[in-house]
Amino acid sequence: MDFLQLLNAVARVAKPDYQEFIPLQDMAAPIAQSNLDSLDLLITSIYLCELYGIDQETSKGMSPATPQELLNFLNEHKTKEPQSVEAALKEVR
């Protein structure tokens, strides 16, 4: 599964529908480029921690600047992972 595709899909759910979201194209790109504000990013992070089975205590240590940093954190602490983008979206919608 392509992580950028997952991240963009989950972030789109976190961001209010009427606001523009710029899909991230590069694992090294600053997440700020996507137009996610701090609340959107918090919501996105909580969604991803849930999808990767990471408890709230551990998730407090997450402060990613790029998709790669986010993926590194998730891989380090995951207890499960989503099977597909579609399956992930079913859990957060």
Partner 1 sequence: MNVYLTQSRFTYSTHVELLDDILFPQKVHWFPETYHKATTGMFYPPHKVAEKVLDPDLMADLRENSAGKTAFILAAGNTNFSGISPHNKKPSRLSYAYKFLPLTLTQVYAARVAQACGASDQIITDSSACASSLKVLMDVSNLIQNYGFDRVIVLAVEDQVSNSVLEFFGETRAALLHEEESKTGAVPSAFDSKNYGFYVGQGAAFAVFDSEQTVERSGIDPIARLMGAYSASEVINNAIGQREDGQGFAQAIKGAAYYADINVEDIRTVKTHGTGTQSNNASESAGLRSVLKDFIATAYKPRIGHTMGVSGLLETLLLFEDMKAGFVPGIPNRSEEDAVFLSSHAPVPDGLVLSVAAGMGNIYSAAIFDRPCR
Question: Quick check: 17 and 93 in contact, CB under 8 A?
Answer: no
Q: In the complex with partner 1, which residue's Cβ is closer, 31 or 43?
A: 43
Amino acid at 5: Q
Asked if 83 touches partner 1 (CB under 8 A), the answer is no
DSSP 32: G
Q: What are the tokens at 84?
A: 């597909």
Tell me which residue of 60, 74, 63, 61 sits closest to 7, measured CA to CA: 74
Asked if 79 touches partner 1 (CB under 8 A), the answer is no
Cβ 35 to partner 1, closest distance in Å?
Answer: 14
What's the rounded Cα separation, in Å, for the pair 12 and 61?
23
Annotate each residue in 4-43 with x if it binds partner 1 (CB under 8 A) or - if it does not, as one string. Answer: ------------xxx--------------------x--xx
- Which residues contact partner 1 by CB under 8 A? 16-18, 39, 42-43, 46-47, 50, 56, 91-92
